[in-house]
Structure 1
């Protein structure tokens, strides 16, 4: 792909010489937000398809450079990547738009399903639709794995790092941050062994202008804290909204490794310490988050919603639940925007640094292993109703119960794979077709 340049305003120029309009960026960002099912691997694949492959707005190496930085940050890496891509194309306005549109469809869906949950319980129709969606998403994740791997794994070292990362995550359950740091260190050590000196970072007109770091930090922190301070002043410092904001703000800055790395801790505190919801409700919330677009970390919104619903004073239950859900979502994602707007200008400025490039290439290889881990984990939970722990204590990989295999899910995934790899259909078409097929198949055989 032809390399893209950055103009004097910091926007990426397309191969044709003109950047996408803000309206075009918003339209594609909304499409990504509406179709971003299946967790970070599928979401990253979706962004790569739209921003890099189909539209050519962002060059391959720049997309991977941005992804590597986002993988180092706490919080939802897919939402941060969407924000970074928007920032590259239209600076802060673009970053806010792309990041918010990535979140909002899932947040609105989760809010609606939360109301349905407390009023009616689980809906078979919704479960049947998303039964098929999961099969379609699995095919999209596999396609992403093959595409990213073909571009990222160009040396024996990168292949070795990808395999080692996959084994570390899937078999041994090594914490995700440790895997990423180890991959970066190995790549830097290998580069140093070659005896090549680090290049001086480029400082020319093609570099985005340096923003006011302290000003950005002050504004970002103020926006993050504004609703929390408002709740403390207008209601009470001891109100549930303030407790929710404090807890999920803390999670937002320590959530390395994605939502799954936090679920056990979040469930323990929310269920046992605060008593905001029951263990069964926590599992139901995770199920709802799995079936909505957007980052899985939106399960926090469900927790906040039920916390407000169960302790609504001085508001009606519906209003208290909505306020608590909104507060949770605000403090969960506000730090991610701040991380991008603070760090992206410096990360872009260091693209020519050889040591950093080596570290990020190692992270790219590790990301390939991470996507493979997510794809296999996702496949196991789509195809098998039950999994058990490995017999050896030092093996963390789930072992599927073979008798619990779901032939219908396997068949739907094969159809989705045929649509993706042979028919070359778009993401929206594959997801929609999978949803309809899943609903029709479950209805035909009488599955609940």
Structure 2
């Protein structure tokens, strides 16, 4: 019934617009995304854009970027929040919840399994072989994301200047990402007032907006009933989230698990600037304050987090698993159960605020679609994000191609020629031949495993 109502509102007519996806179809897509969302936020956003804007046409280009720009302003993993937003837009509150949960659930179980192998056997040869292929592909995916978003967002010389300034600020001067976002938003607000032509969606000199055909939720789609602001809905949502947060804490046994619940709730609220901005906070708490794991273990967890699907902040699941295992929460005979429960607690309290942020503010964001006072700052943020993603691609590339390097000796240890060739081949496959990200990752993983087997 819900799908039929939404289909009528979005107008499935004879204008080439695809049929509104059913809840079941969307469910299977979000589940698939949870297993293939490699490449950090840039790669994950690129996957969603390729699937939902270009191929399936569930949402238009401008509506997608409008939602993405808003998610950039929030604390928490922006790619997962974008999935929640799009799921909510398509299938109401439950659609957002399902999209957000399935975005992280596969990663939780994959990380739990790999962490168990890591702790129980210490034999990561198979995993290392697969990651040897995935890591160069991730570099290519992030670089490809910078190119794709840049080709759409950098519509004029002013946007190019914003992207360049953002890259210089973060690469050379280590300006924190939140400050870059705030600065870009302020410039966009002023530019929307003084130079509106440069900040109009699709406007400005040299604009080259791509159009992939009519979308289910298009630029001109009337506001859907569930996207209209309602104080009753807002208070109900906030009350339910707060009650759920308190109930889970009350049900947890006092001690390590409640410490994790409180700590990761705090961490979720300070994740402005992405996972790398909050990792020092997680390191300080997990290693120094609570002793859930050691420093070298934290580095290993980051490597696993970078090479598995899901947001990079999923490294909190690794921290939780190791903490539960180390403290033997359920006795020495149930170490895996202790690790899995602790990893689940860390994940739940880290991601709960993301659902609240999106589901509570979504109606406000939808009401600003097409309003230059709101879209101009977001357009400027998108331009700045291109520079930030390029910096991220260089960061990943440096660590993959010179794995022994350090800030003091940036090119020590020799160049990894296999990783370099594989990254180049993966980028060409994505850019020139438009091969799907999933296929590129699968082939890269097999090549990495084969190469590692031959070398060892």
1:287-436 paired onto structure 2 within 5 Å:
287-313=303-329, 315=331, 316-389=334-407, 400-401=410-411, 403-436=413-446
CA deviation vs aligned residue, 1:36-89 (integer Å, no higher than 9, x gap): 112111111111111111111110011111111111111111111111111111
Task: Note the C-alpha offset of 1:226.
Answer: 2.4
Distance in 1 (alpha carbons) for counterparts of 2:192 and 2:145: 27
1:81-92 paired onto structure 2 within 5 Å:
81-92=82-93
- TM norm structure 1: 0.89
1:126-165 paired onto structure 2 within 5 Å:
126-165=127-166
Residue equivalent to 2:248: 227
Residue equivalent to 2:229: 210
CA deviation vs aligned residue, 1:9-32 (integer Å, no higher than 9, x gap): 876969525311112212221222
Distance in 2 (alpha carbons) for counterparts of 1:126 and 1:195: 51
Task: Note the C-alpha offset of 1:205.
Answer: 5.3
Q: Secondary structure at the match of 1:254?
A: coil
The answer to whether structure 1 residue 118 and structure 2 residue 139 are counterparts is no
Residue equivalent to 2:205: none
Task: Note the C-alpha offset of 1:140.
Answer: 2.2
Distance in 1 (alpha carbons) for counterparts of 2:125 and 2:388: 32
Residue equivalent to 1:178: 179
The count of corresponding residues between Structure 1 and Structure 2 is: 425
- Judged with a 3 Å threshold, the aligned counterparts in structure 2 of structure 1 residues 388 and 319 are, in CA distance, closer, same or farther, namely closer
Which region of structure 1 is more displaced relative to structure 2, 416-425 or 267-276?
A: 416-425
The answer to whether structure 1 residue 263 and structure 2 residue 279 are counterparts is yes
- Judged with a 3 Å threshold, the aligned counterparts in structure 2 of structure 1 residues 357 and 12 are, in CA distance, closer, same or farther, namely farther
CA deviation vs aligned residue, 1:329-385 (integer Å, no higher than 9, x gap): 100111111111001111011113221111111111112112111111111111111
Task: Note the C-alpha offset of 1:206.
Answer: 5.3
Is the Cα–Cα contact under 8 Å of residues 422 and 444 in structure 2 kept in the other structure?
yes
Distance in 1 (alpha carbons) for counterparts of 2:222 and 2:30: 30
Residue equivalent to 1:34: 35
CA deviation vs aligned residue, 1:93-114 (integer Å, no higher than 9, x gap): 2111211111011111001111
Gaps of 5+ in 2: 201-219
Structure 1 vs Structure 2 CA RMSD: 2.4
Is the Cα–Cα contact under 8 Å of residues 12 and 89 in structure 1 kept in the other structure?
no
Is the Cα–Cα contact under 8 Å of residues 329 and 338 in structure 2 kept in the other structure?
yes
For residue 248 of structure 1, the aligned residue among 253, 261, 264 is 264
Gaps of 5+ in 1: 1-5, 391-398
Residue equivalent to 2:209: none
Distance in 2 (alpha carbons) for counterparts of 1:205 and 1:101: 26
Task: Note the C-alpha offset of 1:8.
Answer: 8.9
Is the Cα–Cα contact under 8 Å of residues 39 and 141 in structure 2 kept in the other structure?
no
Distance in 2 (alpha carbons) for counterparts of 1:159 and 1:12: 37
Is the Cα–Cα contact under 8 Å of residues 382 and 409 in structure 1 kept in the other structure?
yes
The answer to whether structure 1 residue 284 and structure 2 residue 287 are counterparts is no
- Judged with a 3 Å threshold, the aligned counterparts in structure 2 of structure 1 residues 118 and 191 are, in CA distance, closer, same or farther, namely same
Distance in 1 (alpha carbons) for counterparts of 2:401 and 2:6: 48
- Judged with a 3 Å threshold, the aligned counterparts in structure 2 of structure 1 residues 209 and 322 are, in CA distance, closer, same or farther, namely same
- Judged with a 3 Å threshold, the aligned counterparts in structure 2 of structure 1 residues 193 and 423 are, in CA distance, closer, same or farther, namely closer
Distance in 1 (alpha carbons) for counterparts of 2:21 and 2:323: 42
Task: Note the C-alpha offset of 1:324.
Answer: 1.2
